[in-house]
Chains A and B, each alone.
Chain A
């Protein structure tokens, strides 16, 4: 498996919306490389015919009825917001074309 480079880390940081410093890029690249080396062990296990597990409890069909449940007031909803305007969450400008 390839070692993880600074560029890889920069790409991951972008995907994860983390603005890392130059120092951090190098630092994390080293550490992640070591960790990846350790976790790669999973590939040693012969598991071709094994089902992946994503729930320890065997559950299915867990639903709720289509009925109203009281929620939050707008005050409560906005209570933690860094910036509010007109009862909405105010966010800095979005560059993307929707």
Chain B
């Protein structure tokens, strides 16, 4: 089937998109939401289970105190009101990865409501309303066997592992996001990014989308104008990266505009995003809408968040990422554009740590966003994972500032560090990367260069000072780049009797 024929520009010109983003966060508590089983990733199948998370007859859940604290901190960080009285509820439906065939979640009494998160897209701030954040438990995992793709379609049977069942999840639901117009895909991505950063700063989760500890479902609908009522929305799942968020939203806007323009109607359905083809496909149409028959969980006590408790937790919140970035930008003296580059390169923390290790902000930025960013892009490895740390970069900057090294040598030091040869100092020592600025050592090379290039020397003597560059180059070559270029130039000009 072909893709939409409407372009994105046409789509947003004709329709006003409305978004809703649901994000699930896997908490990094040591144990599961309702039992004392470990939450570590990658254990042998069904080795991290107990009667409770396996749903054995007779088992009962008991709430993890730290999970509740994390939920409340997330709510506070999102400017939510923490409910003084909050209850768990059962969401009833049958599925093989659900040990009890109901999920303990929250329904009409969630722990946190009515907040917001501000996100920046190209200099404009969008305030994303947060409807609610609530606690629930994760399901087990199924492997689909016998078919050709490992996906459900065409599988003959499945194998279920309940290690993941019961891991604490926080679901964060936005209010309808309006007024984004043609920026909708970017806003969606920016929201998920900002949320991820905030959760990371709170240290409540690993927030790795590729590992599933941060999951996003994107709801998209179109309406003829901002004054019209909301259109029918679709929910897109399997959005596994920030890039996918942006692409999936963009695709759905195009697809829905295509359908509507042709006079069709949008079906309210769950769709599946395919990163490889860049499209969403419809899920299996169900005969009846699911009726979850929510009722308050009789096996658990309500959570009564006292004011003291809330304030205690509020005091543990870290500086909001946006505020921190503004402060750092000011401390570092970067322009907005420079700061945005740093943020986009995900180098804020790295630069902060490099500065803390003794480098100047400008120096730190030069390396992280320059040479190291280039290597990161070339190899596809994230900056933080390259193999050089802020201490190393700071040391290199210090050596340069001291005059012990120049940029070219610094790049060799980086090579050495990344090759595992040791610390900056160790590499300098083992490779003999010391800048030669001792006049005595340089004089010989300077004299040689002048002698070997008489025409150039004459030009310089004749007034073409710029020509000395070639002589500098010759000296640098002769010293394998380990000469202090500035000093070399000075010496050459001195020898040639010219003012530099």
Contacts and interface: CB of A to CB of B under 8 A. Distances in A.
A41 interface: no
B194 interface: no
Interface stretch (A19-27, A31-39, A42-50, A65-73): A65-73
Given A55-B298, A97-B283, A67 B31 contact: yes
Contacts of A60: 301-304
A63 B68 contact: yes
Interface string B113-151: 000000000000000000000000000001110100000
Given A60-B304, A68-B38, A87 B160 contact: no
Contact of A66 (B66, B161, B293): B66
A96 B30 contact: no
A64 B36 contact: yes
Given A72-B51, A92-B157, A64 B63 contact: yes
Nearest to B283: A97
A98 to B, nearest CB: 6
Interface string B427-464: 00000000000000000000000000000000000000
Given A91-B96, A98-B152, A71 B157 contact: no
Interface size class of B (residues with CB under 8 A): 35 or more
A66 B158 contact: no
Interface stretch (B39-47, B215-223, B414-422): B39-47
B94 to A, nearest CB: 5
Nearest to A89: B160
Q: Per DSSP, are chain A's interface residues mostly helix, strand or loop, or mixed?
A: loop
Contacts of A17: 94
Contacts of B293: 15
A81 to B, nearest CB: 9
Contact of A61 (B49, B146, B156, B304): B304
Contacts of B49: 71-72, 77
B64 A66 contact: yes
A70 B52 CA distance: 12
B284 A96 contact: yes
A76 B291 CA distance: 34
Contact of B67 (A14, A66, A71): A66
Contact of A86 (B66, B159, B287): B159
A62 B67 contact: no
A80 to B, nearest CB: 8
Q: Which of A15, A59, A91, A93: most chain B Cβ within 10 A?
A: A93
B358 interface: no
Given A15-B293, A54-B298, 17 more contacts: A14-B287, A17-B94, A66-B67, A68-B36, A69-B50, A70-B36, A71-B35, A71-B53, A74-B47, A77-B46, A77-B162, A78-B46, A87-B46, A94-B142, A96-B95, A97-B153, A97-B283
14 contacts: A15-B293, A61-B302, A66-B64, A68-B37, A74-B47, A77-B54, A87-B44, A87-B47, A91-B159, A92-B157, A92-B158, A93-B157, A97-B152, A97-B284
6 tightest Cβ-Cβ pairs between the two chains A and B: A69-B36, A71-B50, A66-B66, A88-B159, A63-B65, A97-B283
Interface of B: 29-31, 35-38, 44-51, 53-54, 62-68, 94-96, 142-144, 146, 152-153, 155-162, 237, 270, 272, 283-284, 287-288, 291, 293, 295-296, 298, 300-304
Interface of A: 11, 14-15, 17, 54-55, 59-74, 77-78, 85-98
